[in-house]
Every structure is written in structure tokens, then in C-alpha cells.
A and B are shown apart, each in its own frame.
Chain A
Amino acid sequence: MRSVLGQPGGPRLVVGCVGIVVTGLLVAFVTLMHGATWSTPGETLAGLLGHGEQTFVITRWRAPQVSAALVFGAALGLSGAVFQNLTRNPLGSPDIIGLEASAFTGALVVTACLSGTAAQVATGSVVAGLAAAVVVYALARKGGFSGMRLVVIGIAVNAMVTATNQWLVIRADLEVAMATTAWSAGSLNGTDWHDVRLPFALIAALAVGLALSARTMHQAALGDDLATTSGVRLGPHRLALVVLGVGCTATVTAVAGPISFVALAAPQIGRRITGSAGVPLLPAALTGALLLAASDLLAQTLTRPVPLPVGMITTAVGGAYLIWLLVMEVRKR
């Protein structure tokens, strides 16, 4: 049995991935049932298939948000896996090293200065995210490449960028500030099909690019020397990965704001569930989708009828699960 990522995998990989997918779909279905009142599973299914009186509510109102949770979660998981591979360090995730916060700065600036369209905001956030990646990477490169140094520099950049965001929100006009406050916590509430068409297409393209780079990425995980002598062109490879990874994070951030912790937690959770070596992409993407979908369900139901920002839940849920995994790992030894 071989995974699509070109790394032969064992049965545990297959079982793990199928398990995550099934759970994710179940969570998504339950979220579709949720509204001002709960729909029955039968009504929801009928609505999804296009008949029954709830069709409109389910396909036009609820489905976009559920799809956004699944796709954005997968994108964040992918981006986390990419950067954790690049830095050879689980802490090298885009949410820790300041890329997510920078993408949000870009979105904030474009919104405040140009009162931008969705495409402008997306561009702004991708550009700012890439700029941050270039800065962090350039600062971390000095006589070789050290993952730990990159993480420390990333944490520093993250702190400064987060401070900038706070400063921007303080300085902004009241109206903009009100809008950005909900956004700055990371939220999917009120997403409709119109919002997600462009991001979905972008994320699909990025995912294809990542699938094609996966084998080289795993080869590079063997260390710079062995990667080079087995034929990897490290420079171009890293550049491609950074662009793809930032693309994933920034696309999500432009629409939903900084949803932190999915990128950090999903790859680590995914690789443990599937018993994988290193940090593979597929389990990270699937786990990310499940994590964000479940968080969105919680965000909608916990404080009914007022929904919470989903970023709040992802930090709490993702963090708690990561702690639990770490505890289990300590106990095993």
C-alpha cells in the first residue's frame, strides 16, 4: 500500500486517515444540522440532496461555513506541515514564527487604507506573509541553516508583528476597529459561497503543488548533506515550499483572520494518529480539517445563540489535545 504522497505507508496510515475523514464528515454533518433550531438528520440529508423545505437554509447558509471550516482547516494543516518540515522543528509553524500575524497585518493595512475588495485583501495578506517569511528566513540564514535559530527569530518577529496589529487596531477608526476586532480573533461566522470561491480555488492549486513537492520535502528531512548528495536542489526546493506554505496560511487569514494553533497542532496530531515517520502532509491536512470543523461546531453551539470566534476554540482545543499527546508520550517511556 502506498500513500499518494509517494511514501509507502502501513495499514495504520490508512486506518488513521480513514478514521479522521469519517469523523470529520460526521462533525460536518452535525454542524449542517445546527441552526436557530436543530434539523433532524433526515431533513438535513434531504436538504443536502436538494429537496425538502430546508434546502435553501442548508445549502446556502450552513454549507458554505462548514465547507470553509473543512477546506481552511486542511490548508492550515498543510501549511503547518510544510514549515515544520522546513525548520525540522514542530515549533516552526506559521502561527508561531509570525507568518500568520504578518498576513493579518497585510489584510488590516489593505482594509484600513484601501477599504479593499476580497481579492485585494487576499493579495495584501499573501504579500505580507511572504515578506515576513523572507525576513525570518534571511535573518535565520547565517553560515548555514538552523531550525532552532529560525524559531527564536520567528518568535521575535511574531511578537513585533502582533504588537503592530494591536497598535493598528488601537489607531484605527472606530468603525474599522469594530469590524476588525471580531476578525482578529479568527472567525468563520457568516461565511457565504461568494466569500470562499476564490480562496477554495487557490487552496486547491496550492495543494496540488504541495503534493508534487512532497517526496522532495521528505528527502530534505534527512539533513542538508544527505538531501544534497541524493539529488535535491535545496535552494529552489525551499523557496517553492515557502511560497506554497505561506500561500495556504495567508489565503485563510485574509478571509477568516488569524486562526491560530491549527497549523501547529494538526501536523503533530496527525502524525501521531497515523503513526507516521516525520511530518507527512496528508494526515496534517485531514487532521486540520477535522480540527477546524469541530472547533467551528463548538464555537456555534457553546454560547448559543451568539456564536464565538472559532480562533478561540482552536487555541483551547488544539492546545489541550497537544498537551494530552505530550503526556501520553512521556508515559510511554
Chain B
Amino acid sequence: MSDPGRRFSGLLLALAAALVAAAASLAVGTRTVPLDEVVRAFTDYAATDDHIVVRDLRLPRMWLGIAVGAALAVSGALVQTLTRNPLAEPGILGVTAGASFAILLATALWQADAQAAQLVAAAVGALAATAVVYAVGGSSPLRLVLAGVALSAVLGGLGLGIRLALPDVFDDYRFWSVGSLAGRDQVPLELPLLVIAVGLAAALLLVPPLDAMLLGDEVAHTQGTRVARTRTITLVVLTVLAAAATAIAGPILFVGLIVPHLVRRLTAGSVGWLLAYCVVLGPVLILVSDVVARLLLPTGEVPVAVVTAFVGGPVLIWVVRRYGAVDP
């Protein structure tokens, strides 16, 4: 068990990393803006090209990255805590696939391209997918993952079918089907950001009962935790977080898996610390990946999901080799 001091200094370090990542995401791109110019864009706005790029294009994208990263990481942390399954992740359990497919279906049936409608569709789809995977998977961790992979495959296949059948409707979707932050900056951000903020706040309220449940459902029950209710609420919260992130950025795998794995040793036994680290490090992962994506292919950008796979893959391998895959 690590001492609180180490956890605290670790969190400060993570915050510093987040600050650096945020600055980089404002400064780096096709048009590189020097850092002092970035600062001036906020303190001394002069409507130069640099200032416009920073404030109107990159700032919204940065907020998007922060929101998506935090939502995915916290969602992953919640599902890993809940299922005691280190492999659990919204993407692997089919939640992301449910959200994507529901958006696709809503677009096909009702041309639902309003943001609120898409958010609702994503949430409904994600919840339905979670319910199905849970009903099928039961209590066995392995079967849960198997059910998630199977459901993702089914929905992916059906989705591809719908897209091939209605090519006109889905000109945009083709872009969206690989997770990315590009081109999302034109849409209003208030609603999705609000949903994610509410979700994160709700996750915070779940910390005490989840902490109690770390010791096992029986112990938690005898200590006065309402186990079943906590379980249901946690499921809803994590699903909505994953759905909101998917609705804005498209399916981005891995963030919900990597971040909790990375900090698991440091935060062992404390859900609160785990969530705190996830809120900070999830955005770091997304922002860094987004910056790398811009650098890799300056002309046409590489979708951020491609980069998270490359950033996340080795990290995951390292963690698994170092700590093993099974102990939750």
C-alpha cells in the first residue's frame, strides 16, 4: 500500500503533465504557435491569425479532448471496480459499440442529426448494450468479456451493413466511425460537456459505497451499503459517460483500459484516488494522442483513435507484464 504523500505528489505530477499536454494541444499543429503567443491570445487578444487559431479552433478542441478523456477513463475505472475484472473497459464490454450503433440507427431511421438526439440515442444504445452484456455475461468475468466482444462484433457487422445499404446518409459517418477530435470543433459543446460534468460529479458521489464494496459485496452489505442500488447507479453513470464521449468523438478504445491500469498500484484500495487520477490522466492521454496525430500527418490528420492505440498498446503491455493481468 502506498502512503498518502506519494499519492498526493503523484497527482501533482499528473496535473503538471495535464497542463503541458493542454499547452501543447493549443500550440502544436499545421500552424505552430509559439507559447508566448498562446498566452497572449488569452491575456491580450488581438485577433491575429495565431490568436484566432488558438482561441476559435484549438481551444474548443482542447476542451473536447479533456472531456472525452476524463469521461472514458472514469468510465473504465468504474467498470473495472464494479466487475473486479481488469480487462473490463467500455469498449471491450460493447458499450461503445452500442452507442455507435444507436447513433447510426437513429440517423438512418429519422435523419436524427441534432446533437441532443444523437446524445440520447448514444445513451440509450449504450445502456441497452450494457444491459444485454450483463444479462448474458452474468457474474463470470471471462464470459462478460466474451459477451462484450460478441455484441460489439454483431453491432459492427450490422452497422457496416446499414452503411453499405444507405451510402448517401453516411458520408459523414465514415469519418466518425474512427474515433477523432477533428471536425468536432464546429458543433456546440455545451450539452455534451454538461452531460459529462454531471456524470463525473455523480461518480464522485459513488466513491464511499464503491470503496466499501472493494472488500466484497457481503462485507459491504453488513457495513450498511446498498449493494444492488450502488451497482445499478454505477452502471448507469459509467454507461452515460462512455456514451457521451462516443457521441462527440466516435469510438475511441483503450483509454478506459489503460489509465486505470496505469495507476492501479498507486491507488490500490481507494476508489477516490483512482477516479482523481483518471480525471487527470485520461485527458493527458487523449490530448497527447491528438497532438501526435497532428504531427504525424500534417496534411490529412490521423484519427486520434489510431494514435491512442499506439500510445496505449505498449503501456498496457508494460503494465500487464509488470503486474500481471488478473489481480484486480
Binding site for B on A (CB under 8 A): 89-91, 96, 139, 142, 146, 148-149, 151-153, 155-157, 159-160, 162-163, 166-167, 170-171, 185, 260-261, 264-265, 302-303, 308, 312-320, 322-323, 326-327, 329-330
- Cβ contact within 8 Å between A91 and B253: no
List the 3 closest pairs (A to B, CB-CB), nearest first.
A316-B157, A319-B153, A319-B154
A302→B306 CA distance, assembly (Å): 32
- Give, as a whole number of angstroms, the nearest-CB distance from B121 to chain A: 20
A159→B313 CA distance, assembly (Å): 7
- Cβ contact within 8 Å between B149 and A159: no
Q: Does B277 contact A (CB under 8 A)?
A: no
Q: Does B117 contact A (CB under 8 A)?
A: no
The 28 sampled A-B contact pairs (Cβ below 8 Å) are: A96-B149, A139-B321, A148-B326, A151-B87, A152-B86, A155-B87, A156-B317, A157-B313, A159-B312, A160-B313, A160-B314, A162-B309, A163-B305, A185-B160, A260-B153, A315-B156, A316-B161, A319-B149, A319-B150, A319-B153, A322-B146, A323-B132, A323-B136, A323-B147, A323-B150, A326-B136, A326-B137, A330-B135
Residues of chain B in range 18-51 having any CB-CB distance to chain A below 8 Å? none
Binding site for A on B (CB under 8 A): 86-87, 92, 132, 135-138, 142-143, 145-147, 149-154, 156-158, 160-161, 164-165, 178, 253-254, 297, 300, 302-303, 305-307, 309-310, 312-314, 316-317, 320-321, 324-326
- Cβ contact within 8 Å between A166 and B178: yes
User: What chain A residues lie within 8 Å of B303 (beta carbons)?
Assistant: 166
User: What chain B residues lie within 8 Å of A322 (beta carbons)?
Assistant: 146, 150
- Cβ contact within 8 Å between A323 and B321: no
Q: How many A-B residue pairs have CB under 8 A?
A: 127
Q: Which residue of B lies closest to A317 (CB)?
A: B157
Q: Which residue of A lies closest to B164 (CB)?
A: A308
User: What chain B residues lie within 8 Å of A153 (beta carbons)?
Assistant: 316-317, 320-321
* Chain B contact surface mostly: helix
A313→B137 CA distance, assembly (Å): 23
Q: Which residue of A lies closest to B141 (CB)?
A: A148
A265→B135 CA distance, assembly (Å): 20
- Give, as a whole number of angstroms, the nearest-CB distance from B206 to chain A: 26
A37→B138 CA distance, assembly (Å): 47
Q: Tell whether A148 pairs with B161 under 8 Å between CB atoms, given A156-B314, A322-B150, A326-B136.
A: no
- Cβ contact within 8 Å between A142 and B154: no
User: What chain B residues lie within 8 Å of A148 (beta carbons)?
Assistant: 87, 325-326
- Cβ contact within 8 Å between A326 and B161: no
- Cβ contact within 8 Å between B314 and A163: no
- Cβ contact within 8 Å between A167 and B302: yes
A159-B254, A318-B150, A330-B143 known; 20 other A-B pairs, CB under 8 Å? A146-B326, A149-B325, A151-B325, A152-B86, A152-B316, A152-B320, A155-B316, A156-B320, A159-B309, A160-B314, A163-B310, A166-B178, A171-B297, A260-B153, A308-B161, A312-B161, A316-B153, A316-B156, A319-B151, A330-B136
